Amino acid sequence: MMLVSACLAGIDCAWDGKDRLAPRIKHMVEKGLAVAVCPEVLGGRPIPRTRTEIRGGSGGNVLDGMAKVFDENSKDVTKEFLIGAHKALDIVEKHNIKKAILKSRSPSCGCDEIYDGSFQGRLVRGDGVTAALLKRKGVSCQNI
Ligand code: SF4
């Protein structure tokens, strides 16, 4: 069993109310080979919603209380991101999942590369909040 970003499975849960369909991911979910999760929605964020980026570091820094997640109106949404990440981890542990395929560059799901918090489209090295938590728990994360 694998964890996948729900937007990749064709669920309309991205910030703009649309999906980010990757047909092979949707197929995996339909075959029962993957569980689709949207950490931001699990954390209580609405659909559609404002865009968000991590300021002052990466997802690991957010987990450690050293950085925060803000939306494009400078509203602090860190708490929702932490709740969503821990709910995603609960699902991972329940299903004994060791691998995740997640949406790239997301402040939740991004692995190795995220936006820098300026909302100017600039990328920096680092993980989203959920990806960072899953990696800490030994889950292998891959982005598409
Ligand atoms: S939080 Fe993850 S699953 Fe949800 S819309 Fe963003 S990238 Fe997709």
- Please give the number of the atom of ligand 1 that sits closest to the Cα of 20: 8
Q: Which pair of structure tokens corresponds to residue 52?
A: 């968000």
Round the average pLDDT of the chain to a whole number and report it: 98
Closest CA to 84 of 105, 104, 63: 63
To the nearest 10°, report the CA torsion of 74, 72, 114, 10. 130
Q: How many CB atoms lie within 10 A of CB 95?
A: 13
Rounded Cα gap, residues 28 and 52, in angstroms: 28
Mean pLDDT value of segment 108-112: 97
User: For residue 76, what is the DSSP state?
Assistant: B
Q: How many residues does the chain have?
A: 144
Q: Is the pTM of this model over 0.95?
A: yes
Q: What is the pLDDT of residues 25-69, one digit of tens each?
A: 999 999 999 999 999 999 999 999 999 999 999 999 999 999 999
- Whole-Å CA distances, 110 to 19, 77, 120: 16, 17, 17
> 120 C-alpha vs ligand 1 centroid, how far in Å?
20
Percent of the chain with pLDDT over 70: 100
Instruction: Give the pLDDT of residue 111.
Output: 97
Is 47 in a helix, a strand, or coil?
A: coil
Q: Amino acid identity of 46?
A: P
> 130 C-alpha vs ligand 1 centroid, how far in Å?
10
Rounded Cα gap, residues 50 and 9, in angstroms: 21
Instruction: Give the pLDDT of residue 132.
Output: 98
- Please give the number of the atom of ligand 1 that sits closest to the Cα of 15: 5
Rounded Cα gap, residues 89 and 130, in angstroms: 8
